[in-house]
Amino acid sequence: MSSAALPPPLPLAELIAVRHGESVSNVVFREAARAGRPDDSLAYREARVPLTGVGREQSAAVGRWLAALPAERRPELVVCSPYARALESWSMAAEQWPGAPEPLVDERLRDRETGVFELMTPLSVEAHAPEEARRRAAVGEWRYRPPGGESFPDVTLRVRDFLRELAQAAPGRRVLLVAHDAVVVALGLVVAGLGAAPPERPAAVPNASLTRWEGDGTRLWPVAFGETGHLAGSGG
């Protein structure tokens, strides 16, 4: 019996997924990990976290890359996460691309929800909820679901639903998604198809990176994951 995955019918011409530019929370989490200390300083709600100055420039670089594509290669449809950092990323990109499409917004492209641990760094979780931190380590990052939040399989289910609807609504079109690292990882698994093995640990997706699939009229084929060459000189 073959163990090859069965890819779903996805008749898009091309799919490009962009992770939002560097956000304030990205910086706090990175610096907390570097210093080896908890950090509970974030005063935002998850959906309202803004970009940093670096993130805005990274997003502008994405727009310059899109504007430089041949006209027939540019996305015809843009769909964004409703979170502020994704919408701001697209706004910065669109400023660099005259005639850029007006974006659609879809709730299913939101970031992975972390429930009661919203915007808490890993070391903060260890300090405030050590038993839950141990459960996370035992279950593994892919399957761990924080109280009131989502696991990566949960994100994959809603991304699968979104992608199925997108394929029905926009066959033959080139589509750009502006979202989050969890969504990009989930897209890869959904496009790979039924029976595709999930990663033991989700791959890192750089800020403002490009992940691309090209279509043959029936399915999508992976072309690049987490490309950052367009960010040279922009802090990426």
Owner of token pair 């279950």 = 139
Task: Read off the pLDDT of each residue in 161-167 and give the average, rounded to a whole number.
Answer: 98
- Classify 105 as helix, strand or coil: strand
Answer whether 0.85 is exceeded by the pTM: yes
CB-based contact 171:11 (threshold 8 Å): yes
Looking at every residue in the chain, the average pLDDT score rounds to 94
CA distances from 151 to 30, 130, 148, 228, 236 (A): 21, 19, 10, 27, 28
Residue 40: per-residue pLDDT: 79
**What's the whole-number mean pLDDT along residues 164-186?**
98
User: Which domains are assigned to the chain?
Assistant: 14-231 (3.40.50.1240)
Give the number of other CB atoms < 10 A from CB of residue 208. 31
Mean pLDDT value across residues 123-127: 91
Instruction: Specify the residue for token string 């989700």.
Output: 202
Between CA 38 and CA 51 the distance in angstroms is 22
Ranges of beta strands (E only) in the chain are 14-19, 77-80, 104-105, 174-179, 210-215, 220-227
Residue for token pair 């009661």: 116
Is 1 a residue whose pLDDT tops 60?
Answer: no
User: Is residue 234 over pLDDT 80?
Assistant: no
Collapse the DSSP code of 74 into the 3-class scheme (helix H, G, I; strand E, B; otherwise coil) and give the result. coil
Closest CA to 10 of 185, 160, 208: 160
pLDDT of residue 2: 45
pLDDT at 48: 94
pLDDT in tens, 93-120: 999 999 999 999 999 999 999 999 998 9
pLDDT tier for residue 3 given thresholds of 50, 70 and 90: low
What's the CA gap between 38 and 27, in Å, rounded?
13
> pLDDT digits over 187-204, tens only?
999 999 999 999 888 999
Query: How far is CA 25 from each of CA 9, 47, 84, 158, 185, rounded to the nearest angstrom?
Result: 36, 11, 12, 24, 19
Q: Residues, the chain, total?
A: 236
